[in-house]
Amino acid sequence: MPVSLCGTWDMVNSVNLDGYMIGLGISLYTRKIALKLKHRKVIEKVGDRYVVKTLSTFRNYTFSFRVNEEFEEFTKGLDDRHCKSLVTWEGNKLVCIQKGEKKNRGWAHWMEDDKLHLELYCEDQVCKQVFKRVV
Ligand code: 1AG
């Protein structure tokens, strides 16, 4: 059984978020704002659904899903695109493929040394973020 990613997590490191946002076609103006933010992740399990919230002082993004069940994702407030998304466990990694206009789009979450890791993929870009648990 994979470890639980549930909890509240604060970003402590972020590498190449700008490249990821360029891949998504985000404007320079919005990228400048987004790069200054400290993101907080709140991951909850409600019944058999996960609810994932990315919170910041600028915008919030919340979505929910069941593992192994494709869903319609609208990335409201991010790049405002529609994707057909599918989240699965690959070993201890929670992996999402976001099919849509952008090639090679998705993300992966996993735990390592009590930290929550996130990789965000879009086109040829990879953003890597690390979060520590909020106690
Ligand atoms: C995601 O998490 C993305 C979460 O799907 C947001 C992370 C970075 C920002 C991404 C794109 C930037 C687009 C527009 C910038 C505008 C606002 C930035 C606000 C950022 C906070 C919402 C996947 C994963 C799911 O965590 O578990």
Mean pLDDT value across residues 21-43 = 97
Mean pLDDT value across residues 86-96 = 97
Residue in 5, 33, 53, 54 to alter for ligand 1 test, most ligand atoms within 8 A of Cβ: 54
Q: Which atom of ligand 1 is nearest to the CA of 109?
A: 27
Q: What is the pLDDT of residue 135?
A: 85
Determine whether the shortest distance from the Cβ of 60 to ligand 1 is under 6 A.
Answer: yes
% residues pLDDT > 70 (the chain): 98
Q: How confident is the model at residue 1 (pLDDT cuts 50, 70, 90)?
A: very low
Is the pLDDT at 133 greater than 50, yes or no? yes
**Number of helical (H) and strand (E) elements in the chain, helices listed first:** 2, 10
Nearest-CA residue for ligand 1 atom 12 is 78
What is this structure's pTM?
0.95
Mean pLDDT value across residues 83-109 = 97
Determine whether the shortest distance from the Cβ of 119 to ligand 1 is under 6 A.
Answer: no
Q: What is the pLDDT of residue 2?
A: 56
Is the pLDDT at 106 greater than 50, yes or no? yes
Determine whether the shortest distance from the Cβ of 53 to ligand 1 is under 6 A.
Answer: no
Determine whether the shortest distance from the Cβ of 56 to ligand 1 is under 6 A.
Answer: yes
ipTM higher than 0.90? yes
pLDDT per position as a tens digit, 42-66: 999 999 999 999 999 999 999 999 9
Q: What is the DSSP letter of 2?
A: P
DSSP 73-122: EE-TTTT--EEEEEEEEETTEEEEEEESSSTT-EEEEEEETTEEEEEEEE
Report yes or no: 52 and 63 within 8 Å, Cβ to Cβ.
yes
CA dist 122 and 87 (Å) reads 16
